[in-house]
Amino acid sequence: MRVFVDTNLWVYRLDRRQPAKSRFVADWLRQLADEHEIVVSTQVLIELRAVLTGKLKPAFSAADVDTALNALAAFEVIGADANMVLDAHRLAVAEQLSWFDALIAETAIRSHCAVLCSEDFGHGRRLDGLLVQNPFKPPRA
């Protein structure tokens, strides 16, 4: 099964200020990678870099950021095109999503993911057949 992992979960994995949450996400990601195909987008890479060089900057050197980005680039990375942006706009309006959440969701939908793992969409919500799951909450079918 193809599973899209949103930026916030990668940030938790790397945020040393919350060691328990970081360990939880590390274990969860390891299990997810063993059982499913993980997909990310260029947006996830961009957002992760922005957080690591902004809010978390003192804890991450340029080499650390490079390592983190290369680790994510090892998964399938989906880029945006004009049609995806247009469809994401329509999804944002129809589902009342923020612009960046809509672009994440549209990317997951277009890359044929069954699940979008995130804290930002509402656990158990369905978007055009895509199931949203928050790994910090019990699974839903």
**Superfamily of domain covering 2-133:** 5'-nuclease (3.40.50.1010)
Tokens of 118: 């995130």
Q: What is the pLDDT of residues 15-45, one digit of tens each?
A: 989 999 999 999 999 999 999 999 999 999 9
Which of 101, 135, 123, 139 minimizes the C-alpha distance to 33? 135
Domain ranges of the chain: 2-133
Q: What is the pLDDT of residues 115-137, one digit of tens each?
A: 999 998 889 999 999 999 999 99
pLDDT above 70 for 93 = yes
Which of 30, 39, 38, 62 minimizes the C-alpha distance to 49? 62
Give, as one character, the DSSP assignment of residue 79.
P
Cβ neighbour number for residue 53 with a 10 Å cutoff: 13
